[in-house]
Structure 1
Amino acid sequence: MANLIVRNIDEAIVLALKKRAGQHGISAEAEHRKILEQALLRLPRKPFAEVLRQIPNVGNDSDFERIQNDRASQIFD
C-alpha cells in the first residue's frame, strides 16, 4: 500500500474530518481513506430517468395487452 501526505489543509476541513470520523467510530485517517475510495473508485449511480431512457423500444403497449377469454377462465377457475 502507498502512503499519501496532504499538506496545507484548512483547519475547518481537518476538524470536519475528525468530527465525521468520530461519528463513524473510526480514525480520521480511516475516514480519509473511506472518503477517497467513495469519491474515486465507486461507480457513479445513474439517474433513474437515464436508466428509463436506455430501455429499448420493444413494441407498443397494445402488443402486451392481457386478453381474457372464456377458455382461460375455465382453466384457472
Structure 2
Amino acid sequence: MAMLTVRNLDDDLKGRLRLRAGGHGHSMEEEVRQILREALVVEREQDGLGSRVHTRILALTGGGELTLPARSAPRPAPDFGADGQ
C-alpha cells in the first residue's frame, strides 16, 4: 500500500474532516480514504458517449418525449421490366 502525506491543510478543513470522520465512526485517515475512493470511482464508471448524449438531450427537453413526425407510405419499388433494364 502507498502512503500519502498532505501538508498545509487549513485548520478549519482539518476540523471538519475530524467531525465528519467521527460522525461516520472511523478515523480521519479512513475518512480520507473513503472520500478519495468515492471521488475516483466516479471517474472510472463514466457513461459512454451514447449515454452522455441521451442525458444531455433529456436535460434540454425537460425529460419529455419527443414528438415524431407522421410516417408516409413508402415509395413503390422500381420496375426494371422483363429485360432487367
TM-score category of the 2 structures, normalised to the smaller one: 0.5 to 0.7
Distance in 2 between the 1:21 and 1:31 partners? 5
Per-residue displacement from partner, 1:41-62 (whole Å, max 9, x unpaired)? 2335888x70875xxxxxx6xx
Aligned equivalent of 2:5: 5
Q: Matched residue pairs, number?
A: 57
The SS at the match of 1:8 is coil
Q: TM-score, normalised by structure 2?
A: 0.52
C-alpha distance 41-15 of structure 1, shift in aligned 2 (>3 A): same
Q: TM-score, normalised by structure 1?
A: 0.57
Gaps of 5+ in 1: 54-59, 61-77
Aligned equivalent of 2:41: 41
* Identical positions, percent: 40
Structure holding more helix per residue: 1
Aligned equivalent of 1:25: 25
**Rg larger in 1 or in 2?**
2
> What letter is aligned with 2:31?
E
Ranked by relative contact order (alpha carbons within 8 Å, sequence separation 6 or more), the top structure is: 1
Per-residue displacement from partner, 1:19-65 (whole Å, max 9, x unpaired)? 00000000000000000111112335888x70875xxxxxx6xxxxx
